[in-house]
Amino acid sequence: MEDIKKFIRDVPDFPKQGILFKDITPLLQDAPAFRKVIAHFIARYKDKPIDRIAGVESRGFIFGAALAHALNKSFILVRKTGKLPWKKVSMTYDLEYGTDTIQMHEDAVHPGERILLVDDLLATGGTAGAACQLIGKMGGTVVECAFVVELEFLKGREKLKNAEVFSLVKY
């Protein structure tokens, strides 16, 4: 999967000074590269016991929904506060400076369901960790967290202790 790295653009000082942002939009704009990523995820998860796929706002929606479609699984939205229109459950988590909250509809996960959590990038693991906790709070089990990109130096895996972690590309 190292060849996928050529479709991930470095954007210095975004969203703030000192951050080197990994931009996946070139990957999305190249149909063969995007298909290759989804094909790798399909190969990994087609025979795993998964009931639903959850995608983290917003780029996790892109990869998660495509994978859910390919595997004939339902798709769950994990969103920031105020974006879901119906009854919700929430999880607040710590950021470097402050807190954030994610939400899911209260009927998104049923007790005993096995959930695959998908996002584009694993950095510090805060959002993915909160999503795993939220799924657990609803009675589900996260069988694995799947990412296109992992920034290993930020040690995000450490916040995902209760789930397996898979990433296609590592920096």
pLDDT tens-digit map of 66-106: 999 999 999 999 999 999 999 999 999 987 678 999 999 99
Greater confidence (114 vs 16) lies with: 114
Residue 114 domain-assigned? yes
Task: Please report which confidence band the pLDDT of residue 171 belongs to, taking 50, 70 and 90 as the band edges.
Answer: very high
Tens of pLDDT along 34-65? 999 999 999 999 999 999 999 999 999 999 99
Tell me the CATH number at 139.
Answer: 3.40.50.2020
pLDDT of residue 122: 97
Tens of pLDDT along 113-153? 999 999 999 999 999 999 999 999 999 999 999 999 999 99
pTM value is: 0.96
pLDDT of residue 2: 83
Is 96 assigned a catalytic role?
A: yes
Catalytic residue among 52, 59, 79, 157: 59
Residue 78 domain-assigned? yes
CA-to-CA dists, residue 40 to 136, 137, 153, angstroms = 27, 30, 24
Cα torsion for 27, 60, 129, 163, to the nearest 10°? Answer: -80
Residue 2 domain-assigned? no
Strands 9-12 and 88-95, bridge-based pairing: unpaired
Q: Taking Cα atoms as reference points, which of 63, 27, 18 lies closest to residue 44? A: 63
Residue 94 domain-assigned? yes
Is 144 assigned a catalytic role?
A: no
Q: Residue 171, Cα to own-chain centre: how many angstroms? A: 17
Alpha-carbon span 2 to 4, nearest angstrom: 5
Catalytic residue among 44, 52, 96, 150: 96
Residue 40 domain-assigned? no
Name the DSSP letter for residue 50: -
Tens of pLDDT along 106-118? 999 999 999 999 9
Residue 26 domain-assigned? no
Domain count, the chain: 1
Q: Is the pLDDT of residue 161 over 90?
A: no
Q: What are phi and psi of 50, to 5 degrees?
A: -125, 130
- CA 76, 148, 9 angle in degrees (round to 5)? 125
Task: Please report which confidence band the pLDDT of residue 20 belongs to, taking 50, 70 and 90 as the band edges.
Answer: very high
Residue 32 domain-assigned? no
Can you give the residue range of the structural domain that contains 97? 49-170
Residue 164 domain-assigned? yes
Element holding 52 (H helix, E strand)? strand 52-56
